[in-house]
Structure formats: C-alpha cells, structure tokens
Amino acid sequence: MMEKPTVGVIGLGAMGAGMAHTLVQRGYAVVACDARAGVADAFAAAHAGEGAGARAASSPAALAAQVQVVVSVVVNAAQTEDVLFGTNGAAAAMKPGSVFVMCSTVAPEWSRAMEARLEALGVHYIDAPISGGAAKAAAGEMTMMSSAKPAAYVAAGGALEGMAGKVYRLGDRAGLGSAVKVVNQLLAGVHIAAAAEAMAFGVRQGIAAADLYEVITHSAGNSWMFENRMAHVLNGTLAGKDDGQGNLRVNSAVDIFVKDLGLVHDAAHAMKFPLPLASAALQQFTAASAAGLGRQEDAAVISLFPKA
Amino acid sequence: MMEKPTVGVIGLGAMGAGMAHTLVQRGYAVVACDARAGVADAFAAAHAGEGAGARAASSPAALAAQVQVVVSVVVNAAQTEDVLFGTNGAAAAMKPGSVFVMCSTVAPEWSRAMEARLEALGVHYIDAPISGGAAKAAAGEMTMMSSAKPAAYVAAGGALEGMAGKVYRLGDRAGLGSAVKVVNQLLAGVHIAAAAEAMAFGVRQGIAAADLYEVITHSAGNSWMFENRMAHVLNGTLAGKDDGQGNLRVNSAVDIFVKDLGLVHDAAHAMKFPLPLASAALQQFTAASAAGLGRQEDAAVISLFPKA
C-alpha cells in the first residue's frame, strides 16, 4: 500500500466542503482554502484532531506548496483559471509530479487545453467533473466522471476514491470526463424544462398538481429531474427555502442552466452538431432569467407558462 | 361482496391480451373479440376450463350483449368509434346500466364527448388510458389513469382492479384520465428524443456508448425512457427483434410518437398553450418517419444525427 497523499481542496462551497470532509473521514490529511475569509479556518477548526488532520491555507499557492494532489471545486472555467494562474495561483507553486484535479463543469475543449498547459509545467491533470449534490458529497457518495493519462491517476494515489462513491474512468485523455458531464447536463436541463412544461400543461387542463406528480413518478414519463424538481413546485419553494437566518437558499438556480446549457450549445456549435431539444430548453432558461427569475430554483421555468 | 361482473375485452393486442388473461386469472368470466380472424377463439381455447371461463365473441355487438363491462383496448380514437358505432358495433347492443371502459390514448376532449354520447344511450363511461407495456399487462401490474362519474365506477364492479396493478382515479368526469395520459406521453416523447440527441452527441465526442449509458443511468440526467430505450441503441435492435418466425417486431414504433405527440400538439393548440419542448420532439419523430423509419423502434430518432 502506498501512503495516502496529502490533498488540497480549493473551494469549500456546497460540493467542496463535503468532499474535504469525506477525505478527512477516510484518513487523508487535508489542506483547504477558500476565497471567502474565514471559511477554510472554520473547516480546519471543525475537523481539529480528526484522522490525519485538516489545516487551512491562505491562498492556492500556499496550499499547492504543501500537497501532492490539488482538487479544484470552483464554479466554472474562469474561476479555475484564476485558481491556477491568478494572483497567488496554484500553478507556479505545484511540485513537479503532483496532480491537479479539475471538478468544475467546463467545455471539454477547454479541459483538454488545460491538460496541455499544466503538462508543460510538469504537473499532471485529471478532468474530473462531479455529480450528485451537496448531501451526497458530504456522505462520500457523489459520482466523479473522470478522464486522464494513466500517470495522472497514479499520481492521485487513491485521492479520487477518497472523495467519491463512484469514480468513472472514461478514457486516457482530458475532455472525455467533461464531455460526459456536458451530456448529463444536456439531459438534466431538457428534463427540467420538459417537467415544467408538462406540469403546467396538466394543471391548465384541470388536473391537480399532486395527482400529476403521483402518476408521472410511477409511469414511463418519469425522470430523475421530474421527481426531484417538481417537488419544489408542489411545495411552493421556487424562490428558495429560508436557511433559518432569514436568507432564501435555492438548491440549483435557473442561471446555472443558462450557463450549463450554454456550454452544451457552444460545444455542439463548434462541431456543427444539431441539438434541437437542448436548444429549446436553453431558450426556456434564458427566458426565465430575462424575466428576473435567474436566482430562483431552476424549476421556476414553470413560471413562464399561463396559469389555469 | 358483489358478484364479479362478466367482462368483455375488445382488442387482443399486446396490452388487451394481457389484460384479458389477468381478468381470467383473477376470477372474472371473460368474453373476448378481436378484428383479426381466429385470435379470440385462440384466446378462449388457451384459457378453457380456467377460473370462471373465457369465450370468444364474433363481433363487438355479440360481445356487448353478454357482458356488464365492455373494455376497449384498440389503437386510437377512430378504432374506438368503430368498435362502438361501426358495423356490428357495441353501442346498440350494450345493456342499460352497463359500462364502457375506454383504454386507448385519445384527446381528452374526444373522451369527454364520448361520455356524453354514451350517456344518452343509458351507458356508463370510464376514461381509462393504460400504461406499462405488454409484460406488465400480462402480469396484472399495469397502471390505469382513469376518470369517470361515481356511478360508472360502481357499474364496473371491481373490473378495473381486476386488470391493473394500480388504478388512479383522477376526477369525476371523462377527460382527466386522458389528460394525464397525454401529459405522460408528452414527457415520454421528449425524453426519448432527448436521450437520442444526448447519446448521439456523446458518441460524436468520442465517448463509448456503453460508458455513456452506464454513467447517465446512475446520474441526475437519467429518465425512465433513457434507461429503457437506449438499450435498443446499445443492442443494435432499432429495426426490431426477430420473433422466432422470421418477423422483426418492435417494442414501440416511431410512428406511435408521431401520433401521440400529435395528440399533445392538438390539445395544446386548441387551448393556445405553448409547448416548446414537445414541439421540438414532435418534429424529430416526424423527421424520422419522413426518412422511412416510421416502423422502427422509437429510439431510431437517433439515426437523424451525424455519426462520428
């Protein structure tokens, strides 16, 4: 057995915090950093004395100097670029032979280019978008859709399995993991838009929303997203749920799918590949955002439809 | 306990044959008829001596004269009209106080009108589209999406539960059952078209189809239809499977969704309700049919996309 590598986690948002927590539980020494002041210190304090230890770093560069594996769990490609090449970025501080694990949802082409850019610095790269939500990340049950050169997987020394319930290995170069994540987001976005359209159409015809939910979730028209997201419609929580401190929090916002279906569109457009369903769904999320609903639950696309 | 009514089943196709079989297993006396010569006789012979008995009738009129409950399991509204009002149709032969159970996928407005038309003849009506496929129908596990006046349910004397695993009661007038079925078909059609689009897009980017299937069916992008229909793509059985007698049989053809999404479109158009996703899906099935694929598996919409 190889010794477990020390792992740095950059970005302690809903997913990153759960992944860092899981790594500590599974015996990895963890160094954490976050752009928001105090967040990494609070994480380190909360896990003091557990397993192989948790500590905070003040910047991506300070973190990178202490670890073999850097895991980046930020919002998008732009933030990932900043983590690596911005002020106090990780890239220049990473040790030769260490590995950068990219967990954001990004364009496959962008991820391929980043693999080459880090390789030129002697740093391995794993294309590793994630899926499953905050609760699964915290429980160590999330899914990772990865692809990388074999040497990069070796350099990660088991850290991927240390964060996830299931690590898919989808090929020996960056981009394939991101391509699968993009395809997943295509389906997720289309299914949410279709669920909203179907629910609104049924209610408009006089069917009780709860009846429709009950029948569809037990029929061939069901999808993971219909079941998950139409619950927000039934509960009347499209604007978010109170977090106990007077703030409305949403699970996943309309603007996330404006972004993700935008990625889907750009990737397909670049290869002249037609996506009629995804295009219709992108227009629905864009219309909802234009109507001022960008920060509401993604299921708020249902608000575009006429009421009974 | 009321005595079990004698039940007539018109149309021994994939669904009707299973439903008639289930009724016999559950102790109902069954009279069957089918437009194809010999089919009802074969059914009666196969169930000779079982339970309360099975016999064949030569026409809907001959069947209707012998039963309290007439169950119609034909392809569409036009065939249902013919069953009731065509040559040797059931309507004129049905006893006052008996009940007609309409199991086809039809426009909700059409079903409402049929309720009124039969009521004028003293016959009850249950709007009762079904879902689940042939295997579930034969096992007594299919779902029924029903709506009817309370007196019609009483007149059916338990026959609905005698055929189905789950009977949803969605309201006290015809049309609501059909509306829910139409919404289910909207989602089913969109999900098949989206599954094909996503699978083709992923494969075009170099992802192995089997990998994509494995990841998506374990992720938030999954749908009942993705899981069920993309199996035909992986297995290469879009043109159908040999039935052992040299005939290619499909599970559900492209042209079924040209029809069903056409119903969805017509119902929405009549009430000026926009359905952007369903419209895009209808165009995909229509394009596949126009390309000569109408009798292939519905998942053959994937053939519209460019290959890698």
Please tell me what DSSP assigns to residue A173.
S
For residue B248 the two structure tokens come to 């290619």
Contact A178, A201 (CB under 8 A): no
- Tell me how close the Cα of B119 comes to any Cα of chain A, in angstroms: 22
* pLDDT 10s digits, A114-169: 999 999 999 999 999 999 888 899 999 999 999 999 999 999 999 999 999 999 99
Candidate from B108, B212, B218 with C-beta closest to A143? B218
Q: What is the mean pLDDT of the segment spanning B224-252? A: 90
Q: Whole-angstrom Cα distance, residue B69 to residue B30?
A: 10
Instruction: Say whether B181 is catalytic.
Output: yes
Contact A72, A102 (CB under 8 A): yes
Q: Whole-angstrom Cα distance, residue A176 to residue A146?
A: 7
**A204 vs B132: CB contact, 8 Å cut-off?**
no
End-to-end Cα spacing for chain B:
64
Q: Whole-angstrom Cα distance, residue A185 to residue B220?
A: 8
Q: Is the pLDDT of residue B225 over 90?
A: yes
Task: Tell me if the pTM is above 0.90.
Answer: yes
**A220 vs B306: CB contact, 8 Å cut-off?**
no
Instruction: State how far the alpha carbon of A103 is from the alpha carbons of A79, A93, B142, B212, B270, in Å.
Output: 12, 20, 42, 18, 47
**B219 vs A131: CB contact, 8 Å cut-off?**
yes
Catalytic residue (one of A181, A259, A272, A307)? A181
Catalytic residue (one of B4, B181, B241, B259)? B181
Alpha helices in B26-157 (DSSP H): 39-46, 60-64, 77-85, 108-119, 134-138, 150-156
Q: Is the pLDDT of residue A305 over 70?
A: yes
The pLDDT value recorded for residue A121 is 97
Q: Whole-angstrom Cα distance, residue B126 to residue A220?
A: 22
The pLDDT value recorded for residue A248 is 85
Q: Is the pLDDT of residue A2 over 70?
A: no
The pLDDT value recorded for residue B308 is 59
Provide the pLDDT confidence category of residue B170 given band limits of 50, 70 and 90.
very high
Residues on chain A touching B184 (C-beta within 8 angstroms): 215-216, 219-221
Q: What is the mean pLDDT of the segment spanning B186-204? A: 98
Provide the pLDDT confidence category of residue A184 given band limits of 50, 70 and 90.
very high
Q: Is the pLDDT of residue A243 over 90?
A: no
Q: Is the pLDDT of residue B163 over 70?
A: yes
Q: Is the pLDDT of residue A1 over 70?
A: no
Q: Is the pLDDT of residue B1 over 60?
A: no
Q: What integer best gives the mean pLDDT of chain B?
A: 95
B186 in contact with A, Cβ within 8 Å: yes
Alpha helices in chain A (DSSP H): 14-25, 39-46, 60-64, 77-85, 108-119, 134-138, 150-156, 159-163, 176-204, 209-216, 224-235, 254-270, 276-288
The DSSP line for A69-96 is EEEE--SSHHHHHHHHHSTT-SGGGSPT
Q: Is the pLDDT of residue A105 over 60?
A: yes
Q: What integer best gives the mean pLDDT of chain A?
A: 95
**A168 vs B212: CB contact, 8 Å cut-off?**
no
The pLDDT value recorded for residue B6 is 97
Q: What is the mean pLDDT of the segment spanning B186-213? A: 97
Q: What is the mean pLDDT of the segment spanning B72-80? A: 96
B182: nearest Cα among B230, B91, B112, B125: B112
The pLDDT value recorded for residue A110 is 96
Provide the pLDDT confidence category of residue B244 given band limits of 50, 70 and 90.
confident
Provide the pLDDT confidence category of residue B243 given band limits of 50, 70 and 90.
confident
Beta-strand relationship, B166-169 and B143-148: parallel
Q: Is the pLDDT of residue B19 over 60?
A: yes
Provide the pLDDT confidence category of residue B2 given band limits of 50, 70 and 90.
low
The DSSP line for B120-146 is TTT-EEEE--EES-HHHHHTT--EEEE
Q: What is the mean pLDDT of the segment spanning A68-91? A: 97
Which of B173, B233, B264, B277 would best serve as a mutation to test chain A binding (most A beta carbons within 10 A)?
B277
Q: Is the pLDDT of residue A297 over 90?
A: yes
Q: Is the pLDDT of residue B90 over 70?
A: yes
Percent of all residues in chain A with a pLDDT value above 70, rounded to a whole number: 99
Provide the pLDDT confidence category of residue B117 given band limits of 50, 70 and 90.
very high
